[in-house]
Amino acid sequence: MKIFSKQFLLGLIFSFVAIFSGIVASGLVDLAGKRYGLLLALPAVLVIALILLLDKTLLLVLIVLLRASLDHLLDTTKFAGIGLGGLLNVLMVLIGLLALYKLERPLRKIVLLVWLPFLTMYFYGVVISPEKISSFRIFINLLSTAGMFAVALYVVKTREDFTKWLKIVFCSCLIPIMYGAVTIVRPVGYYLTEHRLASTFAHPNILAFYSVLMILIGFYLWKSQQFTEKSLLKKLLPFIVLAMVGMLMLTQTRSAWVAFFAFFTFYALFMERKYIPVLLVLPVIGLAIPEIRDRLLDLTSGNQVVAYAKLNSYAWRKYLWDSALHWMQVSKYLTGYGADAFLHYSPMFFPLSTDKPTAAHNVYVQTFFDLGLFGTLAYIWLFFKTGQTILRNVIHDKLLKTIALISIASYLMYSYSDNLLGYLNFNWYFWFFLGATIGWQYRIKPVESPETSSSSVMTASGSV
Write out 306-330 in H/E/C secondary structure: CCCCCCCHHHHHHHHHHHHHHHCCH
- Of the candidate ranges 146-160, 163-177, 390-404, 446-460, the one whose mean pLDDT is the lowest: 446-460
pLDDT at 269 over 80: yes
* Amino acid at site 312: N
Q: Please state the rounded mean pLDDT for residues 232-256.
A: 89
pLDDT at 240 over 90: yes
Q: What is the pLDDT of residues 282-325, one digit of tens each?
A: 777 766 666 666 666 665 554 455 443 567 788 889 999 999 99
**Rounded (5°) CA angle 63-66-69:** 135
CA atoms within 13 A on the CB side of 40: 11
Band of pLDDT at residue 29, cut at 50, 70 and 90: very low
Query: What is the pLDDT at residue 310?
Result: 67
Question: Dihedral of CA 113/117/119/123: which sign?
Answer: positive
**Rounded (5°) CA angle 456-273-437:** 40
CA atoms within 13 A on the CB side of 273: 2
pLDDT at 30 over 70: no
* Amino acid at site 139: F
Query: What is the pLDDT at residue 464?
Result: 33
Neighbour-count burial of 221, counting CB atoms closer than 10 A to its CB (0-12 exposed, 13-18 middle, 19+ buried): buried
Q: Please state the rounded mean pLDDT for residues 335-352.
A: 93
Q: Which residues pair with residue 82 across a beta bridge?
A: 79
Closest CA to 332 of 381, 376, 362, 378: 376
User: Helix count (H) and strand count (E) of the chain?
Assistant: 20, 0
- Domain range annotation of the chain: 12-102, 110-453
> 205 or 232: whose pLDDT is higher?
205
Band of pLDDT at residue 448, cut at 50, 70 and 90: very low
5-19, 24-38, 200-214: which is most confident? 200-214
Query: What is the pLDDT at residue 4?
Result: 47
d(CA 156, CA 61) in angstroms, rounded, equals 13
> 462 or 221: whose pLDDT is higher?
221
Query: What is the pLDDT at residue 416?
Result: 94
Q: Please state the rounded mean pLDDT for residues 417-436.
A: 95
- Of the candidate ranges 43-47, 135-139, 207-211, 406-410, the one whose mean pLDDT is the lowest: 43-47
pLDDT at 13 over 90: no
Question: Dihedral of CA 72/198/150/168: which sign?
Answer: positive
Main-chain phi, psi angles of 238, to 5 degrees: -60, -35
d(CA 126, CA 118) in angstroms, rounded, equals 12
Please state, for a pLDDT cut of 70, what percent of the chain lies above it. Answer: 76
Q: What is the pLDDT of residues 91-118, one digit of tens each?
A: 999 999 999 999 999 999 999 999 999 9
**Rounded (5°) CA angle 412-414-416:** 80
pLDDT at 89 over 80: yes
- How far, CA to CA in Å, does 210 sit from each of 60, 293, 369? 19, 22, 27
> 37 or 344: whose pLDDT is higher?
344
Listed in sequence order, the DSSP H helices in 128-253 are 132-155, 159-171, 174-185, 204-223, 232-251
CA atoms within 13 A on the CB side of 84: 24
Query: What is the pLDDT at residue 312?
Result: 76
Query: What is the pLDDT at residue 58?
Result: 86
Helix, strand, or coil (residue 456): coil
Q: What is the pLDDT of residues 357-388, one digit of tens each?
A: 999 999 999 999 999 999 999 999 999 999 99
Query: What is the pLDDT at residue 72?
Result: 83
In the predicted model, what is the mean pLDDT of the chain?
A: 82
Q: How many CB atoms lie within 10 A of CB 412?
A: 18
> 100 or 184: whose pLDDT is higher?
100
CB 247 within 8 A of CB 211: yes
The C-alpha R_g of the chain, in whole angstroms, comes to: 23
Query: What is the pLDDT at residue 232?
Result: 78
Q: What is the DSSP letter of 267?
A: H
Band of pLDDT at residue 451, cut at 50, 70 and 90: very low
Query: What is the pLDDT at residue 308?
Result: 38
